[in-house]
Every structure is written in C-alpha cells, then in structure tokens.
Chain A
Amino acid sequence: MDEKKEFTPSIIYGLCSWCGTGGSETAGAMHLQYADNIRPFRVPCTGAIDPVYILRALIEGADGFAVSGCHPGDCHFDSGNYRARRRMAVLKTLLETFGLDSERVWLRWVGHGEGKRFADTANEFNDHIKKMGKNPLAQRRDT
C-alpha cells in the first residue's frame, strides 16, 4: 500500500480575527469545503504571530503551518500584516539556514470577502503538505 496516500497531515492555519477568519466565514456562507484536518488558529492580527508559535507547532507534531490575514494596506491595525511578512521572512530564512523545510510554512493574504480564495488556499496547502510527507522534526522525540 502506498503510505503517502494514507497520510493525513496535521495542519495549523493561523488566521487573523479580521480578514483571515472573515474569509473562512465567507467560505462557510458559500458552502465551500476544505480539508477537515486543517485546524484554524485565530489570532488578533497576523502581526501577533510570534515565530515561536510556528516553531513550536512544527516541533510538537504539525506537518505544516499556514498564515492568512488582511492584504497589504488592509490591516485592521494598519501595519500588523507588514510586520507579519517581515517575521515570516525571518523565520523562513532561519529554517532555510538550518536545512529545514521552509516550504512547510506559508503566508498568503486572504480578504474578508474571499471565501473561495480561503478554501482554495486551505486545500492547496493540504495537497502541498501531503506531497511533502511527514515533518521529520515533528517525529523526533529528543527535541
């Protein structure tokens, strides 16, 4: 049996209270489906996501971590998403430096009204992580 086919990744989806969550609500209103192994994680703003949250998820068992929030210029707090972008850039660079998969972390803007974009992102990320397979860091018991 092909092991990868059976693999259901564990995915955390960080969503800001305004646009990211709003996108998921719109997707719900439109009756759009997305993979049920994706666990939404609501934060006040993408700028409030400390890279430590993502690292911790990746070390403790998540196979992927996606982040969605307001498009640049739309942040409820004016500039939180710009900070998020800088932090994500730093995090991805650090992961890259250590030879870890920076591809397990995604940042994609989803507006409040973009229900389709939300569901598509969730499914696309799910497929992407399925293709990548299990996160080796999460398998380790000696971290």
Chain B
Amino acid sequence: MQTLIDSRMTMPDFIAALFDKLDLAGVAAMTKLPSGEKAAYTLLTDKDDIEDCVPYFPAMPANAARAVSKFTRQAPPSKQVAVFLRPCELRALTELVKIKQAAVDNLLIIGFDCAGVFPFSKIRLSDELKLKEYREAVAKGKNCEGIRPVCSACTRFVPEGADIAISFIGRNLDEPLVLSFPSEKGKEAAKTLGLDSSSKVEASPAVDSLAEERGGAEKKLTEKIEEALSGTDGLISVFDKCISCHACSHVCPICYCKNCYFESQTFEYFPESYFTRMREKGALRLPVDRVLFHLGRLSHMGLSCVACGMCEDACPVNIPVSQIFKTAGAKAQALFGYIPGKNRDEPLPLLTFSERELEEFED
C-alpha cells in the first residue's frame, strides 16, 4: 500500500504547479471543448488554458492510450509531458509499450481512481444533475447509475504503474488532492513540486466497498454473457446485429495493426467465391465473415484486453462487445496467469513459453 499524502492543492492548483515547477512540454488531459457540451483529450501547452481542464469528466471519447501512442510511438517526447490517464487507459498504454507502439520515457504519468465513465453519447458538461449524482457516488464509493456496463464491473479502478496516483474514491472532488508516488520518477516530481509526506491521509474505506460491489457485478456480468453466448445459436444471435463496420477494432487501444488482417486483401474475395459459398450453404448472408471477425479479433487481442469498454461505446448496433471481450479475454488470460497492463516488463503470453506447460491441450 502506498503512503497517501494530503497535497493541500486542488486539481487546478495541482495542474498549475505542474506547469510552474516542472519543466514540461505540456499536459495531456480531458479538456472542455468550445461548444461547452463535450470534452476531449487534449494536449495543453499553455498554462492559461488549464481552467478548461477537466481530468475527472466521466467520459472517454477515445482511449487516451491511443493518443499517447501517437506522440510517443516513434520517439519519446524531447521534453517531459504530464499525461492524465484513467486506470484502463494506463493498462492499455502498458500493453502498447510491450508491442513497441508507445514509450513512457519522458512521460509523467498521473493516474487517478476511476469511478467509471458514461457512454459518450449520454453525458454532457451541462448535465449538472448527472454529474452531481456521479460526485455523490464517488464520495460514497458506489457505482453510479448509467455508467458503461464494463465500468460498473471493473475491479481494477486504482491506477497501476502511475508516477503520481490521485486517490479520489470516497473523497470530495473539490477538496485538495490526496496523492501517492509509486515510482521513482513520481517521488522526484513530488520533491520538485515541494510536496512532503508530513500530512499522511488514511485510505478511504469507500475503496473497499466499491471493490466489493464491483466484484459482485463482475460475477453477474460474466454469468449473463456466458449464458447469452452459449452454443452456436447463442453466439450467432448475439452477433446477428453486426453490420461489419469494424468500429470496435478501430477504437480498440490494443488493435494497433496499421493493416488489419480483417481489412486486408484476404477478405476481398473473387466474385466466384461468393457463389461457391452460396451453393455450399444454400444461402449466404452479406456482409460475410461477421462471426469470424469477432472470434478472430478475440483470438488476436483477447490476451491483452484491458476491458476499457471503447468497443461497446462505438458499436452502432449495441452489441455488448466489451462485455464479451472482458469475459472471454479473462478466460484466455487465466491460462497463463497473465494480467494485462500490470507490468511493463512482463512479456506478452504469445511471445514467451515454457517447455513443459499446457500439455492438457495436446490430444
């Protein structure tokens, strides 16, 4: 357990201090858009813009790990950048580092407890009522009504691998921040920021109560999905609505392939192929390869799935994609005792092996 300290700074003070005391190229965080209704993940370089910064705003228009990947993929930034990440975004970033799609050098990662986010279409900055409910749920350590289904069943809502971690479950969002510094980089930043460990804060019991509620919800979600998907009929009926738009893979932080296999020439069949398949089965539903796409994608990235819920949010026909991927991904991960996003130095399961293992899968 990390030591929690009272920083005596509210969020705006904290961001201002980051700019003032650390030599930063910028801060990346959720920021209000000019329309005043929505927010987007933004890279801010000017201290004057920080009043629009709303790191806690409960929405995830895109998994921020993708954004971080964009500006660190080829080379780490030459000057330090402070990035605010939700725990699942941080896990996704860790997975991206493993596949060399992001670098964390010269990033100061600021993680914070996550009480979940609303589906992006369901939340506006002006929705005072909903945001008030959310704040109350955070303070009590309860699930807020209406957040993404995978968020309400997420048990990993405390950041793992951050340099500075903000504890906010069970606390009031306007109060001074309660911080901990799990990494060396974070401890150094704390010194530069002039934060000392003199005023320790107790861990909030709300964290445990939320973990308990989420654990129960996770079990229920798994059961529900397993029941809905059982057997050929279940599987096909769940994916029946799929229109093959592949939005789920486009927004997935783990699906990094620039040339996705499922969008490659492999699936551009010659016309004759359709007629052959049609003759075989007597009919052919178009577009083809919907079940193959989902099962195949699952076999490709399921081991790294961080259950952020982006896929489900982007699905135009409301298939519970992320609930399915969370459930099935967890089964596959359990084979290797692999926890995605836990440890940057742990290799991906398919890139390593031991000589004697999994013999029960040989026939």
Taking Cβ atoms with an 8 Å cutoff, the residues of A that contact B are 50-52, 55-56, 59-61, 72-73, 79, 82-83, 85-94, 96-100, 106-109, 136-137, 139-143
**Does the CB pair B335–A90 fall under 8 Å?**
yes
Q: Which residues of B contact A51 (CB under 8 A)?
A: 296, 299
Taking Cβ atoms with an 8 Å cutoff, the residues of B that contact A are 226, 229-232, 234-236, 240, 261, 277, 280-285, 288-292, 295-296, 298-300, 302-303, 327-328, 331-332, 335-336, 349-350, 353-358, 361-363
**Does the CB pair A55–B292 fall under 8 Å?**
yes
**Does the CB pair B226–A94 fall under 8 Å?**
no
A37 vs chain B, min Cβ distance (A):
16
**Does the CB pair B353–A99 fall under 8 Å?**
no
**Does the CB pair B350–A107 fall under 8 Å?**
no
**Chain B residue nearest to A128 in the complex (CB):** B363
Bound together, the chains give a CA A96 to CA B226 distance in angstroms of 10
- Select the residue from B283, B284, B291 with max chain A CB neighbours within 10 A: B291
Do A97 and B331 form a contact, CB below 8 Å, given A86-B336, A108-B363?
A: yes
**Does the CB pair A55–B331 fall under 8 Å?**
no
Partner of B331, one of A56, A93, A106, A136: A93
Bound together, the chains give a CA A23 to CA B357 distance in angstroms of 24
**Does the CB pair B232–A94 fall under 8 Å?**
no
**Does the CB pair B292–A107 fall under 8 Å?**
no
Bound together, the chains give a CA A141 to CA B284 distance in angstroms of 6
Q: Which residues of A contact B284 (CB under 8 A)?
A: 141
Q: Which residues of A contact B354 (CB under 8 A)?
A: 82
Q: Which residues of B contact A109 (CB under 8 A)?
A: 362
